[in-house]
Amino acid sequence: MYIDKIKLTNFRSHKDADLTFDPSINLITGRNGSGKTNLLEAIYYLTIGKSHRKSPDKDLVMFDETYFRLDGYIATKEGRIRIETGFSPEQGRKMVKLNKTRLDRISELLQKVSCVQLSPDDIELTRGSPLIRRHFMDMALVLTAPSYLHALQEYRRVLSQRNELLRGVSVPDPTLLGVWDDQLVEWGARLILKRFEFINRLVDLVNKLYHSLSSNPVHISLSYTPFGLSEAVSLERIQTLFREKLANNRARELKQGYTLTGPHRDNLRIAFGGLSLKRFGSQGQHRLVSTALRLSQALYLKEENEDCPVVLFDDVFAELDSQHKELLFQMTLRFDQVFIVSPQEPKIFPRQAKKFHLQDGDFLQK
Amino acid sequence: MAQNLTSLEHLIQILEKFPGIGRKTAQRMAFYILQMDSEGIYALAQSIKDVHEKIVHCSVCCNITETDTCPICSDEKRKSSPIIVVEDPIDVMALQKIKEMKYRYHILHGRLSPLDGIGPKDIRIKELFARITENNDIPEIILATNPNVEGEATAVYLHKILKPFEIPVTRIARGLPVGGDLEFSDEITLSESIRGRRAIR
Ligand SMILES: [Zn+2]
């Protein structure tokens, strides 16, 4: 898929910008603070329905304005679509339209269009807390399987209901707690099964990508072991183990007042040549493996949806030496449309690109 | 708003508490009320007073009614028919669209939701228990709470505690649009989901 046009109104630093993009490579240059990243944020928001920086919608509205609006035309495998989205803090709600029809839920867009962003922060994917890797798995699955999004929303709801019950002043009646256990297990097991399927696919992709970025023949292994399982046996088996774990933890959960096990506590461990990357990895290794992970997420979406996500490279080249820079540029050829944001035009540039330069908040097209 | 408009402001504040009504809509409604003639105003005020004074809960099914027992519970044709358990009176209005089969109802007036501080004692479960204990003409209990986590929790809880009565307990099928409430379902999906009801594990 590719974004053909986007119109930004009152979005962060962009008062009014109307841009037509190249279907393959777009290069956006400009000094820091010129609004380059804000443009990527707009593209991400148009396709995913929220800010990549997790900013609340009201922060996206230009200072002294009452709303923002994004209007885009996207070519997908199912044809050209128009997405309009916007937010007005006064009305307090998000508006999303697909081909002029208002959508009730923003999630209806998720399987039609998708987008993956690479940024310097990606290093946290391998170095940071398990939460970041759970979010990484969830994102890939939500963008490919509507049933996963539903299971995730239900699981979160059950989890907060169950935690509330555990937190309560009196010890909950076992029948009542059992009702929430049932649903926690039902939705949780579905999440775990899908995460297993995803990791199985991801491990090949991440190794292929890593080896095209690095001459080091080391193997990257991903280990996902909920309840001590090393592979997804069956939904029933996961449910049984989850249930056992809840039973074993009952006393502790009542004492601590929250749910101690389940997909909300999952971890994904990454080993590099058999050693924990988190404990033993160098800065350079973290940088390359996390980049390979993010790229493999994009390839997973491409394979699964049979439509390539738009891929945004936010200032990631600066972090790499010239050899890796070149290899990463080569990588952009694997995707339909990419946006590369960089302070200056990079010296090496393999393909014809459409170039935009940002100066004093205006786009100068070269 | 200007000082001398406190009565208008008061009306807006009341209106904006309604579900789905924001400040702006409340203002539009208040200004509409402001330009209504005395006859309209009187009818509106009287109808609000009427629902408050005339509507009670049926002592059998807990539905809202002007006559206790309610027309559904006093309908001879519904005697010995299955009881459909729902969360709110508005769900009965949706289910009443199904004309082909006659059912009776029980209205819980809520759903289990620890986050809202609602437990089994806060909804009309006690009344359902009494009804089952005192009558032996109930062939089946159909749980038609909403297909979301709270509705499902309520259904599973009821199923567990109703076991000793040895009456078949079924749950309406998930033929309902995911995330959709009974209130918004059309007649076809509703009758499909009642017909496709299933036993609970
Ligand atoms: Zn009644």
Instruction: State how far residue A240 is from chain B, nearest Cα, in angstroms.
Output: 15
Among the candidates B35, B54, B73, a domain finishes at B54
Among chain B residues, the shortest Cα distance to A156 is held by B149
**Average pLDDT, whole number, for chain A?**
91
Q: Is residue B25 part of a domain?
A: yes
Question: Does residue B201 carry a pLDDT above 70?
Answer: no
What residues contact residue B151 under an 8 Å CB cut-off, 6+ apart? B87, B111, B145
Question: Does residue B2 carry a pLDDT above 70?
Answer: no
Task: Give the CB-side neighbour count of residue A218, counting CA atoms within 13 A.
Answer: 18
Question: Does residue B177 carry a pLDDT above 50?
Answer: no
Residues of B in contact with A158 (CB under 8 A): 149, 153
Instruction: State how far residue B114 is from chain A, nearest Cα, in angstroms.
Output: 6
Out of A160-174, B46-60, B105-119, which region has the weakest mean confidence (pLDDT)?
A160-174
CB contact under 8 A, A183 and B161: no
Q: Closest partner residue to A176 among B24, B120, B149, by Cβ?
A: B120
Residues B124 and B37 in one domain: no
Question: Does residue A233 carry a pLDDT above 90?
Answer: no
* C-alpha B69 to ligand 1 mean position (Å): 6
Q: How confident is the model at residue B154 (pLDDT cuts 50, 70, 90)?
A: very high
Q: Is residue B184 part of a domain?
A: no
ipTM of the complex: 0.81
A109 vs B31: which has the higher pLDDT: B31
Instruction: State how far residue A95 is from chain B, nearest Cα, in angstroms.
Output: 16
- Residue B5, pLDDT score: 84
Q: Does B5 touch chain A (CB under 8 A)?
A: no
Rounded CA separation B43/A113 (Å) = 52
Residues B72 and B104 in one domain: yes
Residues B80 and B44 in one domain: no
CB contact under 8 A, A179 and B150: no
Residues B84 and B30 in one domain: no
Helix residue ranges per DSSP H, A220-342: 235-256, 277-280, 283-305, 322-331
Q: Is residue B181 part of a domain?
A: no
Q: What letter does residue B118 receive in the DSSP assignment?
A: B
Question: Does residue A5 carry a pLDDT above 80?
Answer: yes
Instruction: State how far residue A307 is from chain B, nearest Cα, in angstroms.
Output: 26
Residues B39 and B76 in one domain: no
Residues B104 and B146 in one domain: yes
CA diameter of chain A: 69
Residues B98 and B164 in one domain: yes
- pLDDT above 90: percentage of residues in chain A: 72
Count other Cβ atoms within 10 Å, centred on residue B137: 8
CB contact under 8 A, B114 and A164: yes
Residues of B in contact with A183 (CB under 8 A): 149, 152-153, 156
Question: Does residue B178 carry a pLDDT above 50?
Answer: no
Instruction: Report the predicted TM-score, pTM, of the whole model to 2 decimal places.
Output: 0.86
Instruction: State how far residue B150 is from chain A, nearest Cα, in angstroms.
Output: 8
Determine how β-strand B64-65 pairs with β-strand B104-107. Answer: unpaired
* C-alpha A152 to ligand 1 mean position (Å): 38
Rounded CA separation B115/B75 (Å) = 38
Among chain B residues, the shortest Cα distance to A146 is held by B178
Domain extent for B50: 3-54
Rounded CA separation A47/A180 (Å) = 35
CB contact under 8 A, A91 and B24: yes
CB contact under 8 A, B161 and A175: yes
- Residue B139, pLDDT score: 94
CB contact under 8 A, A176 and B119: yes
Among chain A residues, the shortest Cα distance to B162 is held by A175
Residues B101 and B114 in one domain: yes
Residues B7 and B82 in one domain: no
CATH code for position B34: 1.10.8.420
- Residue A288, pLDDT score: 93
Residues B69 and B145 in one domain: yes
CATH code for position B107: 3.40.1360.10
Count: domains in chain B: 2
Ion ligand 1 residue ranges (Cβ < 5 Å)? B 58, 60-61, 63, 70, 73
Assigned token pair, A330:
């080569």
- Residue B182, pLDDT score: 56
